[in-house]
Amino acid sequence: MVVDTYQKHNHKKYTNPIPSRECILSFLRTDKDLINLKKIEKKFSIDNQESKKALHRRLRAMERDKQIIYTYNCCYVVLENINIVIGKVIGHRDGYGFLRSETLKEDLWLSAEQMKLCIHGDIILAHVIKSEKKGRSLAKVLKILKPNNVLIVGRYYIEKKIKFVVPNDNRFNFKIFVFSSTLTKKLSIGSVVVVKLNKKFLNKKNKIEGIIVEVLGGKEMQTTLATDIAIRTHSIPYIWSKEVKNQLYQINDKFDQKEFKNRVDLRHLPFFTIDEKDACDFDDAIFCKKKNSGEEGWNLWVAISDVSYYVKPGTPIDQEALKRGNSVYFPSLVVPMLPEKISTDLCSLNPYSERLCLICEMSLSEEGELIKYKHYEAVISSQGRFTYDEIFKIWNGDIKLCLKYNKLLKQIKNLFFLQKTLKKHDVSKKGVYFDNIETKFVLDSNFKIKKIYQHIRNDAHKFIESCMILANIASAKFIKKYQYPILFRNHDRPDQDSIINCRIILNELGLSLSGGEVPESIHYSDLLKSIKNRSDYEMIQTILLRSMKQAVYSPENRGHFGLSLSSYVHFTSPIRRYPDLILHRAIKKVLSKIDKNKKNLKKNNFFKSNLYDMNIKKIGIHCSMTERRADEANRDVMDWLKCDFMEKKIGNIFTGVVSNVTSFGFFVRLNKYLIDGLVRLENLSDDYYYFDSIGLKFIGKSTKNTFRLGDTLKVKVVSVNLHQKKIELSLCL
């Protein structure tokens, strides 16, 4: 209860009684416009100095109790006001910006003038102003509720003895004037530095100032420097705290042998791991065999390293893992979610090493359908480490590899027969499977691109993916039965606007997406199957993928549209994904209760205890964010690598396909390297071209020439900007 400290005052002292908090709040709620002090005084007929002072004290008390907010333009607002919104500022390199709010369907426009009051990443309170121009709503900054305190990476310059840093991220559209420090004394112009904002003035005439806290490198860019920039730009935690290091020292290199008594001993089964050649962690192993005589089908074991045995809730390592959310993979290094002692040693399923695991044992029909499943804790000893290519070659009769792995040949052949079953009968028959051609880079000793090739997933990749999806499905069914609070992997169906836009583009390509207003996964899948042999198959896949929503983590089960499943979880990678670790803990908690013969298991407060600083919903939002953060950081480095590679190709002519069309030009994906470059609109000199935003194409006014998605063109590499990570092309007419 909020106590009104002025209610006990004798109002006879004042000519006009001071309105109560409820009256003030009621007035602020009913008026849609911003209300200043004078309007409040006029409303309640307050016209003498003593009454004005008392009213001002009451308003300050209400602000302190967070009943109202006092804005930059000296107005008072309540959050219930329909024209007031809280959102995150998204800066743009041209000076303006957008305000993104969970309560609004579309982003609000922030003018360049308004962006002088805030910066990219700020959480602000804004006034929504309807605008007739282009039908776009504008946002007016009222107050910064949570400033973006991120460290900013940029390049150091001196002009007329004034020192400043220009941010690398062009969404920070300002210079940072830096104070002199020990770091600036020997700093060369153009060096890459990290700046901490010292003070951000809200007066438009003042400057943004900061202090250099770290020097990352000189003017010359390298892959390692590009990685360091990405890590800091995206605020990825990368330093282990003293508390984490101290806890690591206390973890024994070998687990307690008493664990054998509490676990199923599977060391006699020939499990082995199958991963990419350059894989950094090995946390899953599989084993399968045909069912006993008289039964049809398969038994499949998926063993996942028991990370939860070493990482207990609330410990320093756990808190750091939650903060990171997931491992981040760069070409030159990995920023792991867990310290290397755990991720690459104790929890890595190395050959011939006893390891603690959580098992998902599944019974499959002759058609590969999941019939039964069970989870339990076990001890295994992997019998080998294979790459996808090795398994695929053995399946295809590679004599050298067959001789090399003769002892495990029977088990590898079992995998082959199960693979044929799962390939014929998909895990999710109605799911959407994107068969993307992945671009792979061969790097030299300096971590720069030496060679680019197309990496096509073989049957071994798809088989292991199917096994992991089966384990995820079984785990979702298991935990759903006991209603434990965990994080589901939700993939919501596309919204109607996305579907409409997607169909417009497909129509331009002579294609259609069936399913009416609410297409299902099967309709996407049918379309993909029908265009399998088209040359623009990959580009059409991209169009369909863009129409779909991003998968997220949430305690609310909303199903997985892409896989056409009613519920789905991530079980298979607790080394590199925090939601998987949460799921393992929940499964083990349920198993321990079952072992104690406690029936009628109900939702309890295991995840609501003080072991977590955030509740499960907030953890889901956080882990969804860290996943996007990792993708963006990796993309930054990959884009730099591509530009560094293409800088040596300036002047060369290539054939490519139009992969995207925007109002300022169109992107062409070079067939040889699968790298995109931009053909700018202003460089189309043979005619005046106008942009068709609905059909996503450019049309020549006189010639009627068109440039649209899927067109094959010859282009020339004209320039490469390493700092902005942009490749510019021109047409070869």
pLDDT, position 598: 55
Instruction: Tokens for 274, please give them.
Output: 């199958």
Torsion sign across C-alpha atoms 632, 637, 642, 646: positive
**What pTM was estimated for this model as a whole?**
0.86
Question: What is the three-class DSSP state of 727?
Answer: strand
- H or E element: which one contains 692? strand 689-692
Q: What is the pLDDT of residues 183-222, one digit of tens each?
A: 777 788 989 999 988 755 544 455 788 889 999 988 788 8
- What does DSSP say about strands 108-110 and 123-129: parallel, antiparallel, or unpaired? unpaired
- What does DSSP say about strands 264-265 and 676-680: parallel, antiparallel, or unpaired? unpaired
Secondary structure, 3-state, 272-297:
EEEECCCCCCCCEEEEEEECCCCCCC
CA–CA–CA angle 102, 107, 113 (5° rounding): 125
Q: How confident is the model at residue 9 (pLDDT cuts 50, 70, 90)?
A: very low
Q: How confident is the model at residue 6 (pLDDT cuts 50, 70, 90)?
A: very low
37, amino acid identity: L
Strands, DSSP E only, in 219-272?
264-265
For the residues 602-607, what does the mean pLDDT come to? Answer: 46
pLDDT, position 597: 63
Q: What is the pLDDT of residues 254-299, one digit of tens each?
A: 877 787 888 999 999 999 999 988 887 899 999 999 998 778 899 9
Give the residue among 643, 636, 646, 689 at the shortest CA–CA distance from 665: 689
Range of weakest confidence among 39-43, 389-393, 499-503, 559-563: 39-43
pLDDT, position 42: 82
Query: Cα–Cα distance between 367 and 365 in angstroms, integer?
Result: 5
Phi, psi of 357 (to 5 degrees): -140, 160
pLDDT, position 250: 92
Task: Map tokens 């003593």 to a residue.
Answer: 50
Q: How confident is the model at residue 137 (pLDDT cuts 50, 70, 90)?
A: confident
For the residues 539-568, what does the mean pLDDT come to? Answer: 91
8 Å CB contact between 349 and 355? yes
For the residues 8-20, what does the mean pLDDT come to? Answer: 59
Of 595 and 126, the structure prediction assigns the larger pLDDT to 126
Q: How confident is the model at residue 82 (pLDDT cuts 50, 70, 90)?
A: low
650-731 topology per CATH: OB fold (Dihydrolipoamide Acetyltransferase, E2P) (2.40.50)
8 Å CB contact between 468 and 284? yes
Secondary structure, 3-state, 548-613:
CCCCEEECCCCCECCCCECCCECCCCCCCEHHHHHHHHHHHHHHHHHHCCCCCCCCCCHHHCCCCC
Give the residue among 260, 289, 290, 284 at the shortest CA–CA distance from 272: 284
Query: Cα–Cα distance between 712 and 481 in angstroms, integer?
Result: 52
Which pairs from 404-407 meet CB under 8 Å and 24+ separation?
A: none
DSSP category for residue 443: E
Q: What is the pLDDT of residues 437-473, one digit of tens each?
A: 678 888 888 888 888 888 888 999 999 999 999 999 9
Query: What is the percent of the chain with per-residue pLDDT over 90, rounded to a whole number?
Result: 49
User: Which residues contact residue 471 at a Cβ distance below 8 angstroms, ignoring those fewer than 6 apart?
Assistant: 302, 304, 360, 362, 571, 572
pLDDT, position 372: 94
Query: Cα–Cα distance between 421 and 414 in angstroms, integer?
Result: 11
8 Å CB contact between 376 and 359? yes
For the residues 650-675, what does the mean pLDDT come to? Answer: 92
Give the residue among 573, 516, 44 at the shortest CA–CA distance from 327: 573
Structurally, at CATH architecture level, domain 84-146 sits in Beta Barrel (2.40)
Where does 152-220 sit in CATH, by number?
Answer: 2.40.50.700
pLDDT, position 67: 82
Task: Map tokens 């990678």 to a residue.
Answer: 573
Q: How confident is the model at residue 614 (pLDDT cuts 50, 70, 90)?
A: low
Residue 159's beta-bridge partner residues?
A: 162
Q: How confident is the model at residue 74 (pLDDT cuts 50, 70, 90)?
A: confident
Task: Map tokens 């002090």 to a residue.
Answer: 37
For the residues 149-156, what does the mean pLDDT come to? Answer: 89
User: Which residues contact residue 596 at a Cβ distance below 8 angstroms, ignoring those fewer than 6 apart?
Assistant: none
32, amino acid identity: K
Strands, DSSP E only, in 103-254?
108-110, 123-129, 138-146, 152-159, 162-167, 176-178, 192-200, 208-217
User: Which residues contact residue 332 at a Cβ distance below 8 angstroms, ignoring those fewer than 6 apart?
Assistant: 223, 224, 227, 443, 447
